[in-house]
Homo-oligomer: A and B are copies of this chain.
Amino acid sequence: MIEPSVFAAHWLGHRHLTRRVIAAFPPDALFTFSPAPPLRPFGEMVWELHGQTAYTLRGLLDGDWGEPTWDTLPGTDRAAVLAAWDGQTARIETGLPGVPAERYGETLTLSWGEMLVFTAVIGSIDNEVHHRGQGMVYLRELGTQPPDFWDRS
Contacts and interface: CB of A to CB of B under 8 A. Distances in A.
A16 to B, nearest CB: 14
Contacts of A10: 119, 122
A105 interface: yes
Interface residues of A, number: 33
Interface in A96-153: 101, 104-105, 116, 118-119, 122, 126-127, 129-134, 136-138, 140-141, 149
Given A39-B140, A140-B36, A6 B130 contact: no
A132 to B, nearest CB: 7
Contacts of A126: 14, 129
A1 B10 CA distance: 14
Nearest to A38: B140
Given A6-B119, A129-B129, 7 more contacts: A1-B1, A2-B2, A2-B118, A35-B137, A131-B133, A132-B133, A137-B137
